Structure 1
Amino acid sequence: MKTAIIEYVANTRGFYQKIEIQNKTASVTNDRSGKEKAKTISISDEDWKEIVSLFQKVKLEELAQLKAPTQKRFHDGAAIANLNIKYKEKEYESASFDHGFPPAEIEKIVNKINSFAKQNNEN
């Protein structure tokens, strides 16, 4: 897991959120242009163990074929979200899904990743 980079991006015309998980840190930004520096959050040992456990359950080769449970993003009812994982010099990306409504197979890891954005908003 030390070599993995997990990136979650959700966006619409008026909303952008990018969360990157790597080496026990979460970087959170709401700036689509990249001009604003991302806020870095240290991940506790307990949260890190949970992320590693959830990561190990993700079937990387199947990520692109996962079906979104809802289609609100098609009519601006939800932000468009993607999960991107870079691991062992390979990149795996999910099909687009509604922010807040990930495919069941990755729901737990996506919700855990999003918990760091919520922490960022509370600070």
Structure 2
Amino acid sequence: MSEHTKRSQIKDHKNYLGDKIQNEVINLIGENIKSKILEISKKAKYYSILLDCIPDSSHQEQISVCIRFINLKSTGISIEERFLLFCLIYDVSGEGLTKFLLSALEKEGLNIND
């Protein structure tokens, strides 16, 4: 890493140490992990969703969404719970949460009937 940072100080040398590229890499890794979680949960067919809302330090309501499913591994069956997403939510009424959940399930390709 020391060698890499020394070379990165050379003019016009690509170093990939900037905050934009780091955020892009983190987002790509996160999307890859989320797609693997969704792939496993779709194989299991049945799942449950856990929602939790909490205000952040600026008093904006945020929601986290987790999924619980049965993982059918070759070594056996296990019940697993995985984090799916975290975002701001503006309507925390029952109707608002229902609309958010239905929209999120559709976006992730999860069937509400399962």
Could you say whether these structures have the same fold, taking a TM-score greater than 0.5 normalized by the shorter chain as the test?
Answer: no
The structure, 1 or 2, with the larger RCO (C-alpha pairs under 8 Å, 6+ apart) is: 1
- TM-score, normalised by the number of residues in structure 2: 0.32
- TM-score, normalised by the number of residues in structure 1: 0.30
